[in-house]
Structure formats: C-alpha cells, structure tokens
Amino acid sequence: MKTIRVFKTRDANGEELIYEFRRPTQAIISKGELVSKARFSEALRAGVILNAEVVKILRDRGLWTDVEVQVEQELREDVVALEEKLHDPGLSNVEGRDLVEQIRAKRLELQEHTSLFQSVSGGTCESISTEERNMFYAAECVYDKNRGQKVYKSLEDFKARLNESVTIDCYREATIASLEVLIGKELPSDLSTQYTENKWLVERGLDSKSEDEPEGVEETPEPKKKARKKRAKKSAPSSE
C-alpha cells in the first residue's frame, strides 16, 4: 500500500486544498493505542455499553429479534443475487441500469432496516475508542501537501475544529487508511465506488451522461426512499 494518501478538500471559502495522510510511524501507532485505551476506559466508567451487550439489550427490549435478523439476512441475499446478474456480459445497458436501480433501492432498504442496530452499536466503548484513535491519527498524520506542514497542532486542536468540513474530510481519510491496513487493500476516498453496481456503470461508461449517448436513454436516477414491505415471518434460526 502507498505510504501517503493524497486527497482534496475545501476550506470555508470554497478554496480547494490538497492534503496528504502520511501513514503513522510505529511511535504514533503506539501512542494512538494508548489514546484509544484511555478513551475506552473512560467510556466504560461512564456506563457506556460494550459490543457484546448490544444484541442482548435490543433483544430484551424486543427491538432486534430473530425476525429482524432473518429480514436482514434476506435483504443481503437479495443484494448479492442482483449483483450476480450484473456480471452477465450479455446484459444490455437498459437491463443493467434497471438492475442498478434495484440494487440501490435494496441497499437503501437494508440500511433503513439496520439503522437502529447500527445506531446503538456505533455508541459502544469499542466504537468510541476506535473513533478516538482515528481522530488522533488524523491530527498527527495529515499534512498540507503544498506547504509540507501539519494541519493540526494536536488532538485537542483537531477536536476544537470538528465543525469544519475540512476536519471531517481528514477524519474520513484517517478512518479509510485504518481500514486499508485491516483488509490489506487500497481504498478510494469514496467507498461507494467499490459497490458492484457503481463499478458496472464505470465499466460501461454510464457513470455520467456522455455526449454520444443514444436519445431516449436517461441517466439512472438515485433511488427514492421506499417503505419496507412486510415479509412473512419465518422460523427464526436458533441463536445458540
């Protein structure tokens, strides 16, 4: 993997800035782990739940039962099945675009279905400590490419500027850089470009309106929010 991630952002005046995330040295990684552990302990003492408690709490309150788990599984299987259809080389552009729209709608349905679970799991001791570590990396490893200077003086400086869109972009890059290390693969700043349907659009040259595109073929619109249809309850799998 590259040792530097170059990315663009914009300041409050709309001026383009070119920053680079320099992968942390072992010294920074070690300090980042200490920062992360300290934040974990602080959250635990404050009564924040652990990852292991999320499912139990939601189940006890009847918010995430075997039925919800089954629906999530079915939605994921639906997405995979639709993605497989896009791999057919004989697929026409019109047929493919229809599949793209179906996949996007199904992803949205899945996102809406799991939003409660994700919201709770995003506020655990583990997630809070991971967030702290990534903020530390952003504070320590983001440099202005043109000036060669660090953008933030410290983690405290970074947190004080969280209302700036530039800071959010820096955090995103630090998070993606950490994910790259985890999976051992380089990733783009926009992770949605890795979706099967978006890759298909790029391969077919349909990701943006082309001048020589035949008339009558419209750009694929973003899917509209649709209410999730109720599914027949199935026998829930044993949680044991």
* AA letter at 2: K
* 126-180 pLDDT per residue, tens: 999 999 999 999 999 999 999 999 999 999 999 999 999 999 999 999 999 999 9
For β-strands 142-144 and 4-10, DSSP reports them as: unpaired
Q: How many domains does the chain have?
A: 1
> What's the whole-number mean pLDDT along residues 49-64?
95
Confidence grade of residue 240 (pLDDT, cut at 50, 70, 90): very low
Residue-averaged pLDDT of the chain: 89
In terms of Cβ atoms closer than 10 Å to its own Cβ (0-12, 13-18, 19+), residue 180 is: middle
In this structure, is residue 210 part of a structural domain?
Answer: no
Residue 16 sits at φ, ψ, to 5 deg, of -75, 135
The dihedral built from the CA positions of residue 79, 192, 199 and 2, taken in this order, carries a sign that is negative
Confidence grade of residue 210 (pLDDT, cut at 50, 70, 90): very low
Q: What angle do CA 111, 117, 123 make, to 5 degrees?
A: 115
pLDDT over 90 at 219, yes or no: no
pLDDT over 80 at 226, yes or no: no
> What's the whole-number mean pLDDT along residues 70-91?
97
Confidence grade of residue 193 (pLDDT, cut at 50, 70, 90): very high
Distance from C-alpha of 234 to C-alpha of 239, rounded to nearest angstrom:
14
Confidence grade of residue 218 (pLDDT, cut at 50, 70, 90): very low
pLDDT over 70 at 80, yes or no: yes
Prediction pTM value:
0.79
In this structure, is residue 221 part of a structural domain?
Answer: no
Distance from C-alpha of 133 to C-alpha of 233, rounded to nearest angstrom:
41
In this structure, is residue 40 part of a structural domain?
Answer: yes
Confidence grade of residue 1 (pLDDT, cut at 50, 70, 90): confident
> What's the whole-number mean pLDDT along residues 31-55?
97
Q: Give Cβ neighbours of residue 158 (< 8 Å, ≥ 6 apart).
A: 135, 138, 139, 152, 167, 170
> What's the whole-number mean pLDDT along residues 94-116?
97
| Residue in the block written with tokens 């729209």 | 101
According to DSSP, residue 150 is labeled B
Distance from C-alpha of 143 to C-alpha of 99, rounded to nearest angstrom:
41
In this structure, is residue 189 part of a structural domain?
Answer: yes
Give the strand order in the sheet containing 4-10. Answer: 4-10, 16-22, 142-144
In this structure, is residue 56 part of a structural domain?
Answer: yes
In this structure, is residue 223 part of a structural domain?
Answer: no
Contact of 39 with 132, CB cutoff 8 Å:
yes
Q: How many other C-beta atoms are found inside a 10 Å radius of the C-beta of residue 215? A: 5
In this structure, is residue 235 part of a structural domain?
Answer: no
In this structure, is residue 192 part of a structural domain?
Answer: yes
pLDDT over 50 at 209, yes or no: no
| Residue 77 domain boundaries | 4-203
What pairs with residue 21 in β-bridges? 5, 142
